[in-house]
Structure 1
Amino acid sequence: MSYAVEITQSGDPEVLKKVTRAIDQPGAGEVLIRNHAGAVNFIDTIIRRGEMPEGMMPELPHVPGVEGAGTVVALGDAVRGLAIGDRVAWMGPIGAGGYGTHSIIGSPYVTKIGALDFNLAAAVPVNAMTAYHMLVNLGDATAGKSVLVHAAAGGVGTMIQHIAKHLGLTVIASVSTEKVDYAKEQGADYVIDYKSEDVASRVMALTHGKGVDLSMNPISGETLKADLETLAPLGTVVIFGFLAGAPVGTFGDDLAKQFQKSVAVRVSDIYTYFGNQPEAFNADLATVFDLLGQGILRPQITTLPIAQAAEAHRRLEAGETTGKLVLSID
């Protein structure tokens, strides 16, 4: 038998309950992993509150957790490059069960981690893959370019900063007042306190009127219009979240006026890449863990035992965290 923490019904964090479950066996191309750590993501809290978009809400009871780290205990047919006993990290779809002792994951979404700490490794897949995919595959990030990172103190924002600096970009981080020092510690070249400064004006001043080549934006709302104003010619804004709601504005009023700059707006859901290009995803997953092993990625983690999953949700929803929350699994 295995155990997990599941969402029994929609509601406050207290609906998370520990349960026992049978251990299933992997099918062809799948890997059974004994988890030693699972990370907490905003999507877990959205599911728990019952606020997923129409048609996307999983049936309850539901074991949350879309990333983790542990040991391979069984292999399905046609799995290559992995063996029983390998220490691995993984990323999975909704329903992967990272808040539990065992998960069955498709082999393209599993990578070896060597001697890396399980808690540290569990914090990496979603955030680092999101950051790497947006910068490299969508943003064509190369040395000498500049990037504006909104919510730069969050888990993805932290990874964007580390990867961008490794690639040789100039990083402008936008954070709230209490997180300015944190952003500086992650290597940002410039930090903007969006609570006391106008982000667009500061970006234009810092870039001597040119603007930034890239903007990584999980905020949306009114911020997209400002980003379009501050993009350099041929610049790109990548939207990967809606913390302030859907983007405000219109094509005619806001995007078309930037026509002569030939700017681009991309939207990015890492699961599009996950589902459509598994081999490329696997290669990038190995790359980000190589960056972790080299010390280029430096995830900031807070670890709680899985019995405190409800407390982890409370902290995340209250905005009390910096970096990533990880649940250790005995």
Structure 2
Amino acid sequence: MKAFIVKKYSKKEKLQLTDWIEPTVNENDVLVEIHSAGINLLDSLIRNGEFKLFLPYKPPFVNGHDMAGIIKKVGSKVSKFKVGDEVYSRVSDHRIGTFAEYISVHEKDVALKPKNLSMEEASSIPLVGLTSWQALIEIGKVKKGQKVFIQAGSGGVGTFAIQLAKHLGAFVATTTSSRNIDLVKSLGADLIIDYKTEDFETKLKDYDLVLHSNRDSKILEKSLRVLKSGGQLISLVGPPTPEFAAKLGLPWALKMVIKLLSYSARSKAKKQNISFKFLFMRAEGTQLNEITKLIEAGIIKPVVDKIFPFEQTNEALSYVETGRSKGKVVIKVK
């Protein structure tokens, strides 16, 4: 099969299109013929080697986390799916490889594709949908009437999270550029801040939850200050916390490094009586099933900026890296 591989960790090295061995199908796996794959900034960070300390992939390996396609083979113990099912998934860490014609996925990480979405639309959903679900519902437990600040509202996670937070009954504030104000307004944002001309700290006060996605340490400090006592900051970009290190079962030395990296942020949050959590989302077919219900009910709609042909996977990654995409970027594999 054809696949785009990371030949070696590097920011400058492009993914290489090559012939690759078709994946084996274990007893609990399904083999999916990939029709479309979502592009995420995570794919670039993995290629760059930024996560190799706690996600050590050994090059060469196939990159890519999101996909939609058709099941071509099922393992002997698979009970939820059959050959011919249209499915989508954010595949598990250590089993990535959606920039390819086929992938083998554990059935627990797969869900039936929403009937009202194309393959391209469906492949745009899993990572951003599960990130939003785990942040706002699983960790944040957002309730009706709460105030939620979602940073980068026109991005992949932002476009999904705004819709989910509104469905939960929250008042939603977000940041974006002036050219994307109409987009985030159409998704349900109540208060829109142009990050190029306005300071969100002067506009927001006593918020219940911040979904933090900006790597600038000053933005993190400001984000803590707009929260009320007892509020929550859920960060998608770090710094990672000791709880995260413990969950991954990292060696003692790495746990200490992570503890030191997050000490300042955790201390500031504690002084303000704020919960600081780092979310590195996980694959979860059960939650994806719940997301499917919301999509089929018309409550959440995908936002797809551009669709690239499979051969232009590197160009699609470069476009995502500019930070200018509205919603998601996908590649059409088949």
Aligned twin of 1:277: none
- Give the drift of 1:84: 0.6
Work out whether residues 212 and 236 of structure 2, in 8 Å CA contact, stay in contact via their aligned partners in 1: yes
Equivalent pairs counted in the alignment come to 309
Which residue identity does 1:51 align to in structure 2? E
Aligned twin of 1:207: none
Aligned twin of 1:266: 277
Aligned twin of 1:119: 120
Structure 1 regions of 5+ residues with no counterpart? 205-210, 275-280
- Give the drift of 1:21: 2.4
Aligned twin of 2:208: 213
- Give the drift of 1:55: 4.9
- Give the drift of 1:176: 3.1
1:72-83 correspondence to structure 2 within 5 Å: 72-83=71-82
Work out whether residues 225 and 248 of structure 1, in 8 Å CA contact, stay in contact via their aligned partners in 2: no
Work out whether residues 26 and 32 of structure 1, in 8 Å CA contact, stay in contact via their aligned partners in 2: yes
Alpha-carbon distance change, 256 to 18 in structure 1, aligned in 2, over 3 angstroms? closer
Find out whether 1:322 has 2:326 as its counterpart: yes
Aligned twin of 1:294: 297
1:125-164 correspondence to structure 2 within 5 Å: 125-164=126-165
1:230-245 correspondence to structure 2 within 5 Å: 230-242=226-238
1:222-233 correspondence to structure 2 within 5 Å: 222-233=218-229
Work out whether residues 8 and 16 of structure 1, in 8 Å CA contact, stay in contact via their aligned partners in 2: yes
SS at match of 1:163: helix
SS at match of 1:153: coil
State how far apart, in whole Å, the 1-side matches of 2:127 and 2:266 are: 31
State how far apart, in whole Å, the 1-side matches of 2:17 and 2:182 are: 38
Work out whether residues 25 and 74 of structure 1, in 8 Å CA contact, stay in contact via their aligned partners in 2: no
State how far apart, in whole Å, the 1-side matches of 2:177 and 2:94 are: 31
- Give the drift of 1:307: 0.4
Alpha-carbon distance change, 258 to 242 in structure 1, aligned in 2, over 3 angstroms? closer
- Give the drift of 1:170: 0.6
Aligned twin of 2:177: 176
Give the CA RMSD over aligned residues. 2.1
Which residue identity does 1:212 align to in structure 2? Y
Alpha-carbon distance change, 146 to 75 in structure 1, aligned in 2, over 3 angstroms? same
Aligned twin of 1:96: 96
Which residue identity does 2:166 align to in structure 1? K
Work out whether residues 304 and 328 of structure 1, in 8 Å CA contact, stay in contact via their aligned partners in 2: yes
Match of 1:312 among 311, 316, 325: 316
- Give the drift of 1:257: 3.6
Which residue identity does 2:44 align to in structure 1? T
- Give the drift of 1:250: 5.3
SS at match of 2:307: strand
- Give the drift of 1:226: 1.8
Work out whether residues 55 and 94 of structure 2, in 8 Å CA contact, stay in contact via their aligned partners in 1: no
- Give the drift of 1:24: 3.1
Work out whether residues 224 and 247 of structure 1, in 8 Å CA contact, stay in contact via their aligned partners in 2: no
1:32-111 correspondence to structure 2 within 5 Å: 32-92=31-91, 93-111=93-111
1:172-211 correspondence to structure 2 within 5 Å: 172-204=173-205, 211=206
Q: 1:64-84 deviations in whole A, cap 9, x for unaligned?
A: 111101011111122112111
- Give the drift of 1:201: 1.4
SS at match of 1:236: strand
TM-score by length of 2: 0.86
Work out whether residues 95 and 105 of structure 2, in 8 Å CA contact, stay in contact via their aligned partners in 1: no
Alpha-carbon distance change, 318 to 224 in structure 1, aligned in 2, over 3 angstroms? closer
- Give the drift of 1:117: 1.1
Higher relative contact order (CA 8 A, sep 6+): 2
State how far apart, in whole Å, the 1-side matches of 2:2 and 2:191 are: 46
- Give the drift of 1:317: 1.4
Alpha-carbon distance change, 175 to 80 in structure 1, aligned in 2, over 3 angstroms? same
State how far apart, in whole Å, the 2-side matches of 1:297 and 1:226 are: 30
Which residue identity does 2:105 align to in structure 1? I
SS at match of 2:61: coil
State how far apart, in whole Å, the 1-side matches of 2:289 and 2:324 are: 31
Work out whether residues 4 and 20 of structure 1, in 8 Å CA contact, stay in contact via their aligned partners in 2: yes
User: Equivalent pairs: percent with the same residue?
Assistant: 25
- Give the drift of 1:290: 1.4
- Give the drift of 1:214: 0.9
Aligned twin of 2:269: 255
State how far apart, in whole Å, the 2-side matches of 1:311 and 1:12 are: 14
- Give the drift of 1:133: 1.0
State how far apart, in whole Å, the 1-side matches of 2:221 and 2:95 are: 36
TM-score by length of 1: 0.87
Alpha-carbon distance change, 320 to 228 in structure 1, aligned in 2, over 3 angstroms? closer
Alpha-carbon distance change, 218 to 110 in structure 1, aligned in 2, over 3 angstroms? same
